[in-house]
Amino acid sequence: MTLKTGWVIPLWLLVLFCVASALAQTSSAPDQMPSVIQVPPEARATTNFDAQAATNAYLAQIPASAKARSDAYFEGGYWMILWDFLYGAVVVLLLLNLRWSARMRNLAERATRFKPVHTLVYWLQYLVLTTILIFPLTVYEDYFREHKYGLATQTFGPWMGDQMKALGVNLVLGGLLAMLLFGVVRRLPRTWWIWGAVVTNLFLIFVVLIAPVYIFPIFNKITRLDDPKVVNPILSMARANGILAKDVYQIDASRQTTRMSANVSGFANTMRITLNDNLLRRGSPEEIQSVVGHEMGHYVLNHIYKGIMYYLIVTVALFACLYRGLDWTLQRWGEKWQIRGVGDTAVLPLVILLVSVLGFVFTPIDNTFTRAQENEADMYGLNTSRQPDGFAQAAIHLGEYRKMSPGPLEEWVFFDHPSGRNRIYAAMRWKAENLKLFTGQ
Judged by the rule CB under 5 A, the positions of this chain that interact with Zn ion are 374, 377
**Least distance (Å) between residue 177 CB and Zn ion:** 26
Q: What secondary structure letter does DSSP report for 357?
A: H
Name the residue nearer to Zn ion (CB basis): 334 or 381: 381
Q: What secondary structure letter does DSSP report for 223?
A: E
Question: What kind and span of H or E run contains 276?
Answer: strand 272-276
**Least distance (Å) between residue 297 CB and Zn ion:** 8
**Least distance (Å) between residue 411 CB and Zn ion:** 16
**Least distance (Å) between residue 294 CB and Zn ion:** 6
262-265/272-276 β-pairing: antiparallel
* C-alpha count within 13 angstroms, C-beta hemisphere, residue 89: 13
DSSP string, 234-269: HHHHHHHTT-----EEEE-GGGTB----EEEESSGG
Rounded to whole angstroms, how far apart are CA atoms 39 and 30? Answer: 23
**Least distance (Å) between residue 373 CB and Zn ion:** 7
Name the residue nearer to Zn ion (CB basis): 322 or 404: 404
Q: What are phi and psi of 58, to 5 degrees?
A: -65, -45
8: number of Cβ within 10 Å: 10
Name the residue nearer to Zn ion (CB basis): 374 or 411: 374
- Three-class secondary structure of residue 274 per DSSP: strand
**Least distance (Å) between residue 385 CB and Zn ion:** 13
Name the residue nearer to Zn ion (CB basis): 70 or 373: 373
**Least distance (Å) between residue 367 CB and Zn ion:** 13
CB 378 within 8 A of CB 293: no
DSSP string, 114-172: SHHHHHHHHHHHHHHHHHHHHHHHHIIIIIIHHHHTT-B---HHHHHHHHHHHHHHHHH
Torsion, Cα of 281, 282, 284, 287 (10° steps): -110
Name the residue nearer to Zn ion (CB basis): 12 or 412: 412
**Least distance (Å) between residue 150 CB and Zn ion:** 24
**Least distance (Å) between residue 429 CB and Zn ion:** 19
CB 219 within 8 A of CB 165: yes
Name the residue nearer to Zn ion (CB basis): 29 or 304: 304
Per-residue burial over 121-131, b if 16 or more Cβ lie within 10 Å, else e, is bbbbbbbebbb
Torsion, Cα of 122, 10, 22, 71 (10° steps): -20
CB 125 within 8 A of CB 110: no
Name the residue nearer to Zn ion (CB basis): 318 or 377: 377
Name the residue nearer to Zn ion (CB basis): 374 or 389: 374
**Least distance (Å) between residue 137 CB and Zn ion:** 28
**Least distance (Å) between residue 263 CB and Zn ion:** 8
Name the residue nearer to Zn ion (CB basis): 39 or 394: 394
CB 240 within 8 A of CB 386: no
Name the residue nearer to Zn ion (CB basis): 377 or 394: 377
Rounded to whole angstroms, how far apart are CA atoms 265 and 347? Answer: 35
Name the residue nearer to Zn ion (CB basis): 147 or 259: 259
Rounded to whole angstroms, how far apart are CA atoms 183 and 180? Answer: 5
CB 401 within 8 A of CB 149: yes
Q: What secondary structure letter does DSSP report for 270?
A: G
